[in-house]
Amino acid sequence: MILVETSHPGNIGAAARALKNMDLQELVLVRPRQFPSAEANARASGATDILEKARVCATLAEAAADCTLVLATTSRERDHYYRVLDVRDAAQRAVAAAAQGPVGIVFGPEQSGLTNDDLANTHALLRIPTGEHYASLNVAMAVQIVSYEILRARGTAVPVAPREVPLATAQNMELMYAHLADVLEEIDFRERTQNGSNLHNRIRRFLQRAELDGNEVNILRGILSAVQQRRRRAGA
Amino acid sequence: MILVETSHPGNIGAAARALKNMDLQELVLVRPRQFPSAEANARASGATDILEKARVCATLAEAAADCTLVLATTSRERDHYYRVLDVRDAAQRAVAAAAQGPVGIVFGPEQSGLTNDDLANTHALLRIPTGEHYASLNVAMAVQIVSYEILRARGTAVPVAPREVPLATAQNMELMYAHLADVLEEIDFRERTQNGSNLHNRIRRFLQRAELDGNEVNILRGILSAVQQRRRRAGA
């Protein structure tokens, strides 16, 4: 990630943290207004190591010298000269290209964006979609979104893991539904409705949706048993 | 977007900008440490209007009262009680659900994250994938990524067939839980367990997971009332 002429040191720190959060390492700063800085360190939080090893360059050409693919961020939807890639596609592209050589992604100054000169080494533009009413993203936020999409593109995102307690078997669910039907009948709930079986199905559906585990089914059955016992003790 | 006990006013401002950049509007602050604040305004940049109309609440329950879907951000990969949705899937889900009622997405305090109490109104957890070495995202960055995915989901999401009946509001769910607590006490279920309150939480969690609609809540309350009436008629 290459940040050009960043004005606010806080943004440099926040960008460092954004990189490290997404398992990226290399930050290059072209003519930062103030660096190093205490504010950058504070905003970097646990990512001050990224700041310590950040490279500071006088020109973008120097910063991007060893890159085999350079993408520059833009707010434009189209461009006369460059392909404009959506950030998601750009991230895929960057990850694929990184197998072959360093990839640079360039972020312009907060106020003005990149100049045409800055684009000299660019292979394509990268665009982050925004709303219409206020399209100007903070530069560190842009770094965060790009880094996030790169992490996703790398496929390192850990897949959502299974539940710790196994889900109840269909058979256990059936036993619980039968128990529920008994209790509903005992408390005359069935007769209070126009269409008892339909109602029971409604309950089934939302309990199915909840994807209950074995413990949770036991809790429900405990409640059902308690209702039955209290009624019997009450001599009903 | 609901921010709970945010410590740094700068993060509140940055979150406001992140929302507006992605065409979102509504920011709710639960017990912010400092608000309004000059630092929040500065970081909001062109999004101070979002701050001006931000709602400040004393509790998360109040903040989420009218929400029909509540998602809470988490850094956990798995959870005992709640489904953990990847942020991209969660955004699709939120956009689809927003057609039927307000959706709340909850972000915890910078240092500590959300407590179990904070999760009382949650239907599912939302996880932003991160790298392994430094997984702690800044809260405004998390808001940015979620908002970005919501903008994308709005553009691409073919609306999932909506539920026929709108989901129950958090407030209606609360009334139902209170009713359930009464009945459990009446049938002495509480005393039969080692830890009554913990059990009630377990029930809450799987009912939250089921995402009940208004009719389903009425069915449950009808059953609870039937249990109460039968016991009274039986002279218990």
pLDDT of B196 reads 56
Domain identity same for A33 and A99: yes
Nearest CB to B234: which of A144, A164, A236? A236
Walk across the sheet containing A55-57 and list its strands: A55-57, A28-30, A2-4, A103-107, A69-74, A124-127, A84-86
B10 with B39: CB under 8 angstroms?
Answer: yes
DSSP state of A213: B
Interface test with A, best of B82, B187, B225 (most A CBs within 10 A): B187
CA distance, residue B234 to nearest chain A CA (Å): 5
* Burial per residue of B190-203, b for 16 or more beta-carbon CB atoms within 10 angstroms, e otherwise: beeeeeeeebbbbb
Share of chain B above pLDDT 70, in %: 92
- Interface with chain B: mutation pick from A39, A45, A145, highest number of B CBs within 10 Å: A145
* Residue B141 confidence (pLDDT) above 90: yes
Task: Output A212 or B176, whichever has higher pLDDT.
Answer: B176
Higher pLDDT, A201 or A85: A85
Residue of A11, A17, A45, A230 to mutate when probing chain B, most B C-beta within 10 A:
A230
Residue B102 confidence (pLDDT): 93
Lowest mean pLDDT among A158-172, B100-114, B128-142, B177-191: A158-172
d(CA A118, CA A82): 13
User: What's the average model confidence in pLDDT over A198-211?
Assistant: 79
pLDDT at residue B188 in the model: 82
The answer as to whether B108 is a domain residue is yes
* A152-183: pLDDT as tens digits: 999 854 444 556 777 788 788 889 999 999 99
**What's the pLDDT score for residue B81?**
79
pLDDT at position A112 is: 86
Q: How far is A100 from chain B (nearest CA, A)?
A: 22
**Confidence (pLDDT) at A196:** 56
With a cut of 70, say whether residue A192 has pLDDT above it.
Answer: no
Q: In terms of domains, do A127 and A194 share one?
A: no
In angstroms, the CA A74 to CA A135 distance is 11
Nearest to B188 among A134, A164, A230 (CB): A230
| Chain B neighbors of A131, CB-CB under 8 A | 20-24, 151
- If asked whether residues B69 and B147 sit together in one domain, one would say yes
- B52 plus B99 within the same structural domain: yes
B106 pLDDT exceeds 90? yes
Indicate the residue of A187, A210, A231 with minimum beta-carbon distance to B207.
A210
Which residues from B are below 8 Å from A136, CB to CB? 21, 45-46
Residue A105 predicted with pLDDT over 90:
yes
Q: Cis omega before residue B9 (within 30°)?
A: no
User: What is the ipTM metric for this complex?
Assistant: 0.79
Minimum mean pLDDT among A33-47, B123-137, B178-192: which range? B178-192
**A188: alpha, beta or left? (left if phi > 0; alpha if psi -120 to 50):** left
According to DSSP, the β-strands at B103-107 and B2-4 are parallel
Length of chain B in terms of residues written: 236
| Most confident segment among A172-176, A183-187, B62-66 | B62-66
The encoded tokens of residue B177 equal 């839980």
- pLDDT of residue A225 exceeding 70, the answer is yes
In angstroms, what separates the C-alpha of B6 from chain A's closest C-alpha?
Answer: 15
B164 within a domain of the structure (yes/no) = no
- Residue A148 parent element (H or E): helix A139-154
pLDDT for res B58:
96
What pLDDT, on the 0 to 100 scale, is given for residue B180?
93
Task: State the CATH number of the domain containing residue A229.
Answer: 1.10.8.590
Task: Confirm if A19 and A107 have CB atoms less than 8 A apart.
Answer: no
Nearest chain B residue (CA) to A132: B23
Domain boundary among A90, A125, A154: A154
For residue B150, pLDDT beyond 80: yes
In this prediction, residue A157 carries a pLDDT of 44
- The CATH number of residue B137's host domain is 3.40.1280.10
Show the domain range for B226: 170-233
H or E element in which residue A71 lies: strand A69-74
pLDDT at A171: 82
CB-nearest to A23 from B131, B187, B220 is: B131
- Judge contact between A142 and A106, C-beta under 8 A: no
Residues A49 and A108 in one domain: yes
Number of A:B CB contacts under 8 A?
184
Q: Looking at the structure, tell me whether residues A12 and A123 fall in a common domain.
A: yes
Report yes or no on A183 lying in a domain.
yes
Residue (of B63, B7, B210, B181) closest to A45 by Cα position: B7
Q: Using the predicted structure, report yes or no on whether residue A222 has a pLDDT greater than 70.
A: yes
